[in-house]
Amino acid sequence: MRHTVSALVENKPGVLVRIAGLFARRGFNIESLAVGQTEKPSISRMTIVVDVADRPLEQVSKQLNKLINVLKVSDLKASEAVERELSLFKVSAKPETRAEVIEIVDIFRAKIVDASRDELIIEATGTEDKIAAIENMLAPYGIREMSRTGKIALARGGKKTE
């Protein structure tokens, strides 16, 4: 089962190694990872997507909580959080297919952020499902490069994320 683990950590060298090490030692592959600033400059939030059963994840969460520089760990449920990720797609778009690609961009409320003679760079944001859907639609035109940020999330409905 896929889980989204959110960890508040102190912004210090070595924290990432310890966290990544905990997952790697168990052979858990991290599907995506986003680490960025929070509202406090000394603290970063790591959002980790990992495919693992509930039980072993619980154990890892407990061990994460014990690590130095890790302040808080939680297992975010999709239903209770706003989840978003960002993707950049570099897509083939020759003059004769450009209009079709632009149509897809409009349907998904994505944005064209660079253009060259036979390529467009498209920025899309949304849930994982939405990003997968636009990827499927763009694939027949030729996705030359794709870069994804991995998911971030905040708790909905006036609740604190933690």
Candidates 63, 69, 72, 123; binder of a second copy (CB under 8 A) is: 123
Q: How many helices (H) and strands (E) does the chain have?
A: 4, 9
Applying the rule CB under 8 A, the residues between 18 and 47 that interact with a second copy are 20-21, 23-24, 27-39, 44-45, 47
Residue 125 binds a second copy (CB under 8 A): yes
Compute, in degrees rounded to 10, the torsion defined by CA atoms 135, 139, 140, 144.
140
Based on CB atoms, which residue is closest to a second copy, 102 or 146? Answer: 146
Residue 57 binds a second copy (CB under 8 A): no
Interface characters, 59-98, with a second copy (x: CB under 8 A): -----------------------x-xxxxx-x--------
Candidates 9, 70, 141, 150; binder of a second copy (CB under 8 A) is: 150
Cα(141)–Cα(20) distance, rounded to whole angstroms? Answer: 36
Cα(78)–Cα(4) distance, rounded to whole angstroms? Answer: 8
Closest CA to 45 of 79, 20, 70: 70
Helix 128-138 to helix 98-107 angle (10° resolution) is: 170
Residue with tokens 């690590």: 67
Query: Which residues bind to a second copy, rule: CB under 8 A?
Result: 11-14, 16-17, 20-21, 23-24, 27-39, 44-45, 47, 82, 84-88, 90, 113-114, 116-119, 121, 123, 125, 143-150, 152-154, 156-158, 160-161
